[in-house]
């Protein structure tokens, strides 16, 4: 009987980057061969002449009525005043997007990025938003959670004609609420959102709030199959990448704060899963949602808050010194290239398996007898999976491998961070005696009570 490379990998429990990623293409399977290590992946296919967005974002006019939001790895859309109306311009288009080092895909977004730029305004503002469609199919924009005239709600075919390729439509309404909101298409929605069409729409209250640092990001999931360069919009369950603002750890920027700052984090969910977002180091207050900042009597104290599909949640806390993890608490959402078809090889004696399989599959790497922690060590050593696929576990900290991916980043709080300074301050310098330390290398150390012995 002739076995394919994939049959061999599944039967033997190989746990390389690609083998945990579910079904793969023929080209992706061939990239398991270690002899291809170091080859450059084919360039992304898509919008000609559209490079990956880099460099500083356009300047945004200063509005003294609020503290500007810091959109993780993102930017805020500039506006102009025109006869008392605040004007914005969105462009729906293909973009080349990098999820993390070495993984680039042709996605769809707005104004050269996914997510699109954050729109910021103030309750009571009159806004006029032009939307130009540079996609190959029609689109629309729904202003998720906003109270507005029915004909501005953006549901293609129901409340408006769809915006055809090359056309520009205009939406105009007065902002009658405050809070954390989103925008996304309501035309071919499953495809367009799966490709990355989404953005934040943040409305500040008329009265300025006592917030020192205001962060925001969107949760999303992507099916970027190994060896491919476009997300798959037909996948509804087995996703490969889990992202904060379309980035995976360690490409997600940290949330830099000053000790004692009042910090707000706004989280929106446009993925197909609910996400329990957990912050280490503090008890935060859940203070708001799509419905705006809640009355203080409704605030509740948590350390994990589930943000359901289509929801927004605002959390607030006073920053304390340290490097504190912020992540989804579904463990497989803090890993990349995850799948469901690979056998569990923990405890399996794989001695000799590697040599035998390498006769048919050069470069085969047995892995996983003692768990999956060694994955990042193999990645660091240069072992390469399929082209254009993120490593399952990655990231380095001051004490070694962090072994994370996906929806994970760090809140970095320091005493000496200046106002408006968001530069990465490096790793936290722990005061003497405040780091867990080794006291023995003897597995029989001490006399711990153990049931049944």
Q: pLDDT digit string (tens) for 66-113?
A: 999 999 999 999 999 999 999 999 999 999 999 998 899 999 999 999
Q: Which of 393, 431, 429, 394 is nearest to 412 (CA)?
A: 429
Instruction: Answer whether 316's CB lies under 8 Å from 263's CB.
Output: yes
The pTM score is 0.85
Distance from C-alpha of 320 to C-alpha of 413, rounded to nearest angstrom: 6
Which pLDDT score is estimated for 192? 96
Residue 340, pLDDT > 80, answer no
- Interval 368-394: pLDDT, tens: 666 666 666 667 766 666 778 777 778
Please identify, in words, the CATH class of the domain defined by 70-328: mainly beta
Distance from C-alpha of 114 to C-alpha of 110, rounded to nearest angstrom: 7
Distance from C-alpha of 315 to C-alpha of 215, rounded to nearest angstrom: 10
94-97 contact pairs (CB < 8 A, 24+): 94/46, 94/47, 94/50, 94/134, 94/135, 95/47, 95/50, 95/53, 95/196, 96/44, 96/46, 96/47, 96/50, 96/51, 96/52, 97/52, 97/196, 97/246
Q: In this structure, what is the dihedral angle of CA atoms 27, 31, 35, 39, given to the nearest 10 degrees?
A: 90
Confidence of residue 57 (pLDDT cuts 50, 70, 90): confident
Beta strand ranges found along 294-417 (DSSP E): 300-302, 304-307, 312-318, 322-328, 394-397, 400-404, 408-414
Which pLDDT score is estimated for 12? 40
Confidence of residue 361 (pLDDT cuts 50, 70, 90): confident
List helix spans (H) across 182-334: 189-194
């Amino acid at each position: 009987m002739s076995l394919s490379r994939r049959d061999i990998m599944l039967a033997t429990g190989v746990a390389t980057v690609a083998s945990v990623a579910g079904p793969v293409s023929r080209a992706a399977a061939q990239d398991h061969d270690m002899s291809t290590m170091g080859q450059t992946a084919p360039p992304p296919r898509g919008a000609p002449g559209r490079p990956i967005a880099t460099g500083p974002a356009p300047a945004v006019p200063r509005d003294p009525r609020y503290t500007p939001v810091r959109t993780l790895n993102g930017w805020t859309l500039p506006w102009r005043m025109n006869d008392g109306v605040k004007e914005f311009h969105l462009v729906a288009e293909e973009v080349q997007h990098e999820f993390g080092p070495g993984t680039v895909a042709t996605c769809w977004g707005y104004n050269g990025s996914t997510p699109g730029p954050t729109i910021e305004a103030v309750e009571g503002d009159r806004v006029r938003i032009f939307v130009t469609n540079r996609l190959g199919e029609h689109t629309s924009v729904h202003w998720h959670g906003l109270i507005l005239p029915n004909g501005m709600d953006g549901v293609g075919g129901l409340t408006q004609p769809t915006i055809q390729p090359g056309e520009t439509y205009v939406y105009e309404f007065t902002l009658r609420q405050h809070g954390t909101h989103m925008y996304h298409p309501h035309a071919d929605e499953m495809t367009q959102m799966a490709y990355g069409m989404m953005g934040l729409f943040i409305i500040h209250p008329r009265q300025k709030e006592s917030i020192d640092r205001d962060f925001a990001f969107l949760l999303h999931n992507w099916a970027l199959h190994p060896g491919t360069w476009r997300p798959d919009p037909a996948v509804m369950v087995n996703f490969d990448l889990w992202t904060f603002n379309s980035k995976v750890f360690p490409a997600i920027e940290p949330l830099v704060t000053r000790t004692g700052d009042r910090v707000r984090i706004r989280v929106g969910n446009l993925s197909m899963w609910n996400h329990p977002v957990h912050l280490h180091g503090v008890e935060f207050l859940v203070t708001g949602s799509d419905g705006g900042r809640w009355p203080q009597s409704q605030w509740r104290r948590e350390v994990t808050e589930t943000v359901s599909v289509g929801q927004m949640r605002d959390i607030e806390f006073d920053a304390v010194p340290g490097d504190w993890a912020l992540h989804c608490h579904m463990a497989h959402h803090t890993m990349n290239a995850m799948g469901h078809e690979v056998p569990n090889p923990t405890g399996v004696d794989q001695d000799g398996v590697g040599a035998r399989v390498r006769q048919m599959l050069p470069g085969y790497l047995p892995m996983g007898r003692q768990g999956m922690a060694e994955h990042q060590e193999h990645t660091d050593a240069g072992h390469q999976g399929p082209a254009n696929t993120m490593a399952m576990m990655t990231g380095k900290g001051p004490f070694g491998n962090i072994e994370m991916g996906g929806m994970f980043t760090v809140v970095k709080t320091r005493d000496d961070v200046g106002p408006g300074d968001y530069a990465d301050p490096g790793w936290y310098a722990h005061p003497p005696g405040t780091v867990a330390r080794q006291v023995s290398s003897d597995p029989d150390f001490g006399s711990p009570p153990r049931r049944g012995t």
